[in-house]
Amino acid sequence: MRIRKVVSKSLLKACRRFLTRDPVANVLPLGDLYSPLFQVSDVYCAVENSKVVGVCAIYGAFSTPSVVLGTATQTVKKALIKKAVVKVSDEFISLCPPDDVDLFKEYSVVSDSHLEHQMLADSLKTPEHRAIKAQRVKRRDLEALNRFYVESVVAEAWAPIQFRAGPYYCVKHDDRVISAAGVHLVTPQIAQLGNIVTDKAYRNQGFATACTHALSSDLISKGRIISLFVRIGNAPAIHMYEKLGFHKTREISFLVLRKKK
């Protein structure tokens, strides 16, 4: 088995084919293989008998890089993690199935962690606050959207490059963004929602529901599976997603890691 960096178009296509066998389980590394995220990611694959048997992506748009793996055998994942840890800074994050946590512990120390649900929707329920209309964010509004997320203490996974990945929807008050929902990534098969945030002064009024519904409707109409991650203890958010038609599918470990000296 060889570990190769993905730079050629042919190898990139092979990695995409490998990951699309299970786009739900592979949503994060799959997204890193499509523009614009691919431009800020280092992708490595494991090749055995001329076939891709595993993929690892290092996403570099945030100050702390993230390492995510596609489905593979534990032996393949271990080899990919060993390669990735050499390439990242001292601190990095990963989102992985709980069974993979011990693989990271061989090369790094877990300094913080929590569990999240992956939730999916392939059809939507009508929201209760139907009078609230979310609008799609236009490019001219990107500065206002960025300011909204920067000022929010909960939008930890926002980078302006994600606006190029897919649609964002918002609700405004006095020409100021007070609630927004968007995507981390969009591939031909699946979209990962994220950055679903409402200003503290306007919460519990249906604004996040309206933004999420408008965004999900847009993506479902284009044939995408809709996925999102949410902390297991975030009962209000889970309740909102379930009322819109999302259902839980698996648990994910969110890890903050430091390389072993």
What average pLDDT score do residues 113-117 get? 98
Residue 136: strand, helix, or coil: strand
Q: Is the pLDDT of residue 236 over 70?
A: yes
The answer, yes or no, to whether residue 54 has pLDDT greater than 90, is yes
* 206 Rama class: left (phi>0) / alpha (psi -120 to 50) / beta: left
Cβ neighbour number for residue 55 with a 10 Å cutoff: 27
- What is d(CA 71, CA 90) in angstroms, rounded to the nearest whole number? 25
Q: Does domain 2-113+254-259 have CATH number 3.30.565.10?
A: no
**What mean pLDDT value characterizes the chain?**
95
SS3 for 2-32, per residue? EEEECCCHHHHHHHHHHHCCCCCCCHHHHHC
Topology agreement, domain 2-113+254-259 and domain 124-244: yes
Give dist(CA 157, CA 180) in Å, integer: 13
Domain boundaries, the chain: 2-113+254-259, 124-244
Decide if pLDDT at 250 tops 90.
yes
Please tell me the predicted confidence (pLDDT) of residue 32.
Answer: 97
The residue whose two tokens read 């020409």 is 175
pLDDT at 129 (0 to 100): 64
Evaluate if residue 110 carries a pLDDT over 70.
Answer: yes
What is the model's pTM?
0.94
Please tell me the predicted confidence (pLDDT) of residue 157: 85
Q: What is the mean pLDDT of residues 13-32?
A: 98
Mean local confidence (pLDDT), 81-110: 95
pLDDT at 155 over 80: no
> Can you give the pLDDT at residue 153?
67
CATH architecture type of domain 124-244: 3-Layer(aba) Sandwich (3.40)
In the predicted model, is pLDDT for residue 2 greater than 80? yes
- Going by C-alpha positions, the residue among 212, 170, 169, 164 that lies closest to residue 186 is 164
Answer yes or no: is pLDDT of 89 > 90. no
